[in-house]
């Protein structure tokens, strides 16, 4: 019972904090597969391995699916969670909990002490900025594809987290899917996000 309450409190903290802040790069010691020190070392030292790379990511928000493509063919499919208001249209402003729609690029791989690995997308793009400026809104930013929160590092809570939209606008998938994308995605890969 205490463990369940603990996990609920952690999930509540993740729901409140979400993805909006730039993470600090600090080591969080524990014995789970979630190891930020290892992640940072990969970013610093790992050379691009000659491995099958994907050339496009496509997200369908209504299907709650992310598809990885290579040469026009789907090579992997993953279930996803979205922003808490992710199905209510395109992101309009910072703090609206919507997941953007449009065509973007993967611009950075980053490590986070709360969420398992991140691929930063190029939201807001020029069109997003023009639209938001026209209505006096701040488009926000730091929208990523990321894995699960630290409490779900082993995937024990995937059935729960993937049934709910809980991010602040990011796209969350199982850590196994995030590992695949981390290894297969190079910077500059296109991501299309559809309603």
Residues catalogued as catalytic = 146, 170
Please give the Cα distance from 24 to 27 (Å, whole number): 9
Please give the Cα distance from 162 to 93 (Å, whole number): 24
Answer yes or no: are the C-beta atoms of 114 and 21 closer than 8 Å.
no
| DSSP H or E stretch at residue 141 | none
Please give the Cα distance from 183 to 111 (Å, whole number): 14
Please give the Cα distance from 153 to 34 (Å, whole number): 6
Sequence-distant contacts of 133-139: CB under 8 A, at least 24 apart:
137/92, 137/93, 137/94, 138/93, 138/94, 139/91, 139/92, 139/93, 139/94
Task: Sort strands 65-70 and 118-121 into parallel, antiparallel or unpaired.
Answer: unpaired
């Amino acid at each position: 019972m205490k463990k369940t309450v603990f996990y609920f409190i952690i999930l509540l903290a993740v729901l409140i904090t979400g993805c909006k802040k730039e993470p600090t790069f600090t080591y969080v010691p524990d014995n789970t597969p979630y190891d930020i020190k290892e992640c940072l070392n990969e970013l610093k030292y790992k050379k691009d391995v000659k491995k099958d790379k994907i050339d496009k990511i496509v997200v369908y928000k209504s299907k709650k699916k992310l598809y990885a493509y290579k040469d026009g063919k789907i090579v992997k499919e993953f279930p996803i969670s979205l922003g808490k208001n992710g199905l209510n249209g395109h992101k309009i402003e910072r703090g609206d909990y919507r997941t953007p729609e449009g065509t973007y690029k993967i611009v950075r791989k980053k490590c986070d002490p709360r969420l398992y690995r991140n691929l930063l997308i190029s939201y807001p793009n020029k069109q997003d900025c023009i639209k938001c400026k026209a209505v006096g809104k701040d488009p926000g930013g730091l929208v990523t594809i990321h894995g699960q929160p630290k409490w779900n590092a082993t995937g024990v809570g995937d059935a729960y987290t993937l049934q709910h939209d809980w991010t602040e606008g990011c796209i969350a998938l199982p850590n196994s899917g995030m590992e695949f994308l981390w290894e297969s995605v190079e910077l500059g890969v296109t991501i299309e996000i559809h309603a």
